[in-house]
Chain A
């Protein structure tokens, strides 16, 4: 029992349950319905998948601001490939490959030129956005989704799968990533570098290689999030997902991630992502105006981190 209490995601999970029950109580007719649960799950998928990659980056001691631009670029790449008549699998692979490459470039710049991750990814945030706009000729790219839309669309009530494929993919990715973080040499090296990079160097950890891999992984997962975004939009949109990176970082931080590195958990980031969706959806159901939602979400981010600090001080 005590071990559970000490987990970094325990606090956010309690907050999630409390907020959820609050909205169930305020809006029992609509909020608690299973259709709404499924909708909220679908709305969390993009942030959740990107947050898996961001968790690695933040535990490693870095930050990735280029996520939103990478998602938008991925949707454009997929649309362009589909437009040429290629199959959906080729389009998805192309999209994820481009995003992974962008991530690997982030990693190379951080590891080899030793530029701080904030600056590097601030730069690529702009560059990838520009690339997306260029590739899309500065407008939305229409293409036949060739079944990719099925990943995120609501299922018929009779379906045995309960939730759309995108949600299951997100859960599988999160589960695998959590296992890899805890139980592989790579994962332990990521934690060690974020905790104390000098110790990691002293112990012969291949710091540069791990760094490049971490950012490439974050890019790949941003690409996968881009696939889900395309599935939702069914067009390639170069102006999509502006500011998405901030929601993704918020999810990680709410879930116990520390921007100083060495701390964070995939489970916590998932709870953080769901918490933000619940607040947004709940507020809509109760009829709270948009601007109040924004204030609430901002307050929750700061409160979550502040409470965690207090808990640890004791």
Chain B
């Protein structure tokens, strides 16, 4: 297909962080007036690539050209000046400001130190006009807190477009927090922008969205662009095969473990956080995996089971008894949660390894709730040895440990508490390869000793390697669990992403 000069052209881009090679050799061409979807599993390098294009990271090798001219931004600001803007997954708007103030935030036109109201209005109107696909135009004077999530998303996009000449817009999973109607509204605006001649790079895990919206696609795997072409001329199966690659992980049926009675279960769990009637039964001595995209409700399910998030209907059972979950009560019943958010929830980073490890069960020394720091350190040191946590000593602040070792501290806390049911949310996120293998071995060992493990992971191959059964979560509904031996990465990914 004959096209005019590429809007953005990447040639052999490579980027490494320490010993991890995030991008090996990525070449990519984005045409003006087209929506280009970027596909790939978690860790394939999509985010890093976007950071490079948006000027937040500089590539180690390779070159970029924007409209045929050399393009090598050293900062996001410089990228914006060249007309390249990125809209991140999380909304970053100020709810107490109105639409205009949000759109111009940080780039307010001024005269003699005062906001130049006329130019501000012109620029906002131009940016909002570009979004005219929205069924009702945004009023620049509305407070952003009064807008729907989709409209707030549009305000962010308008901010990205408020610069002199927008050329390329990057959207990172813009629909992950939007409902069905809102998605349609957003898509209408994006199509209108495309028809104006803007080039759009669109990252999504939802294959159906990509099929509806995008014109071209590129699949990234292990830091390489492995497949690209026109959306119309390819099948979902081709995409999934390219995302998963040759090394197809098949589930391993575990012969050692014999699941016992139900340890934890729930029926008809519904919550405002997105659960839409979840049934689940987790047996003693089994590892049950939950596959699903970010925002599918998998994290919310674990949190509801542990009592960190309320649910409006349904019931939770522990060992057959109906319970009202709260963190303290669930811990007392032997149910523990490993948070996916290690830095802001899983650990108190300023506290020592010993404090973090023993916080849920500070073994009182004698009566009156007196704690013996010596004994506390002794207990912690034993776990540090057992799990081979690398730290100077147990009084070192958790902040100073590597990600993998921090994660081991958080897991060690559950072991110290001697829980019977482990709810593990992304147990190996941000963990190096060797620690990852150790965590997997630990999970297998726990199940062999009769503990029940419910595990959420974005890595389907990890689930296939460690779980006995796997269920797929999609838009708040959990499918029936099936033996891992009968499942494949290809099939699970297709189910989770709705192909």
Contact = CB atoms under 8 A, between A and B. Distances in A.
B348 A192 contact: yes
Contacts of B360: 202-205
A231 B483 CA distance: 76
A309 interface: no
Contacts of A182: 373
A202 B351 contact: no
Contact of B359 (A192, A206, A263): A192
Interface in A180-197: 182-189, 191-192, 195-196
Interface in A186-239: 186-189, 191-192, 195-196, 198-206
B325 to A, nearest CB: 11
Contacts of B331: 203-204
Nearest to B303: A202
Nearest to B338: A202
A186 B362 CA distance: 10
Given A202-B308, A203-B413, A196 B349 contact: yes
Given A200-B348, A200-B359, A185 B364 contact: yes
A107 interface: no
A8 interface: no
A256 interface: no
Contact of A185 (B330, B371, B373): B371
A11 interface: no
A262 interface: yes
Interface string B448-475: 0000000000000000000000000000
Nearest to B397: A195
Interface residues of B, number: 30
A192 B360 CA distance: 10
A185 B359 contact: no
Contacts of A198: 344-345
Contacts of B420: none
Given A202-B337, A203-B327, A205-B359, A184 B369 contact: yes
Given A184-B371, A188-B362, A202 B346 contact: yes
B339 interface: yes
Contacts of A205: 328, 359-360
A196 B327 contact: no
B370 interface: yes
Interface string A277-308: 00000000000000000000000000000000
Given A185-B364, A188-B355, A195-B351, A206 B346 contact: no
Interface string A248-292: 000000000000001100000000000000000000000000000
B332 interface: yes
B372 interface: yes
A186 B368 CA distance: 10
Contacts of A203: 327, 331, 359-360, 413
Given A184-B369, A184-B371, A185-B362, A204 B351 contact: no
A50 to B, nearest CB: 25
Interface in A139-184: 182-184
B332 A185 contact: no
A5 to B, nearest CB: 15
B327 A183 contact: no
A263 B348 CA distance: 12
A184 B370 contact: yes
B31 interface: no
Nearest to B365: A183
B138 to A, nearest CB: 33
Given A183-B373, A184-B369, A184-B371, A201 B355 contact: no
A192 to B, nearest CB: 5
A183 B370 contact: yes
Given A184-B369, A185-B371, A196-B344, A204 B332 contact: yes
A199 B348 contact: yes
A214 to B, nearest CB: 15
B350 interface: yes
A187 B327 CA distance: 20
A205 B370 CA distance: 16
A199 B370 contact: no
B39 interface: no
B355 A199 contact: no
Given A184-B371, A201-B308, A262 B344 contact: no
B337 to A, nearest CB: 6
Interface string B332-367: 100001010000111111110001100110101000
A185 B493 CA distance: 46
A291 B312 CA distance: 61
Nearest to A196: B348
Contacts of B330: 204
A125 to B, nearest CB: 28
A185 B350 contact: no
Nearest to A184: B369
A88 B360 CA distance: 44
Given A184-B369, A186-B369, A188-B355, A196 B413 contact: no
Contacts of B356: 199
A192 B362 CA distance: 12
Contacts of B349: 195-196
A199 B348 CA distance: 6
Contacts of B347: 196, 199
Given A202-B337, A206-B328, A183 B372 contact: yes
Contacts of A186: 369
A192 B352 CA distance: 10
B410 to A, nearest CB: 9
Given A196-B347, A263-B350, A184 B368 contact: yes
A180 to B, nearest CB: 9
14 contacts: A185-B362, A185-B370, A188-B359, A195-B350, A196-B345, A199-B345, A199-B356, A202-B345, A203-B327, A203-B360, A204-B327, A204-B360, A205-B359, A262-B350
Given A199-B348, A202-B346, 5 more contacts: A184-B370, A184-B371, A185-B371, A191-B355, A196-B349
Sorted nearest first, the 5 A-B pairs with minimum C-beta distance are A203-B360, A204-B328, A196-B348, A204-B331, A185-B369
